[in-house]
């Protein structure tokens, strides 16, 4: 598994953020526009670590430049399945992180929980 996935699975957000390219792009079904840069994506990763319960990767599909890390977790009592799609830069850092989640009810719960975390007075 790519070091990003190892760090996330261990709950080590500092190590996960260290694997990101300085200009990493983050996309998810929860936000309309992509987040750009290590600092912005780091904020998202720290927030989602507070939101997800019982997070675990269940499969790693990939090659040298691209990985699909399939995961399951709970959000507010709802089971969620998803995938972190990683595209790597030439140096092995994560240049792009795309997250997909299902089902819709769990995605909605995730959106609400993340909005609360990222609000100015949130976690």
Q: What is the pLDDT of residues 58-117, one digit of tens each?
A: 999 988 899 999 999 999 888 999 999 999 999 999 999 999 999 998 888 888 888 787
Instruction: Give the neighbor-by-neighbor strand order of the sheet with 78-88.
Output: 35-36, 20-27, 94-102, 78-88, 66-75, 53-62
Q: Tell whether the model's pLDDT for residue 122 goes beyond 80.
A: no
Question: Could you tell me the residue ranges of all domains in the chain?
Answer: 3-118
pLDDT at 113: 82
Q: Tell whether the model's pLDDT for residue 119 goes beyond 80.
A: no
Reported pTM: 0.87
Q: Which two tokens stand for residue 7?
A: 């760090």
The correct CATH number of 3-118 out of 3.30.360.10, 3.30.300.180, 3.10.450.50, 3.40.50.2300 is 3.10.450.50
């Amino acid at each position: 598994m790519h070091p990003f996935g190892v760090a996330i699975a261990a709950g080590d957000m500092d190590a996960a953020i260290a694997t990101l390219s300085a200009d990493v792009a983050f996309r998810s079904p929860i936000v309309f526009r992509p987040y750009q840069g290590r600092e912005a994506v780091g904020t998202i990763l720290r927030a989602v670590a507070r939101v997800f319960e019982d997070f675990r990767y269940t499969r790693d599909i990939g090659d040298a430049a691209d990985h699909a890390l399939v995961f399951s977790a709970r959000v507010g009592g709802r089971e969620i399945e998803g995938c972190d799609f990683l595209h790597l830069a030439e140096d092995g850092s994560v240049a792009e992180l795309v997250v997909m989640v299902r089902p819709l009810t769990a995605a909605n719960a995730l959106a609400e929980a993340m909005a609360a975390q990222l609000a100015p007075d949130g976690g």
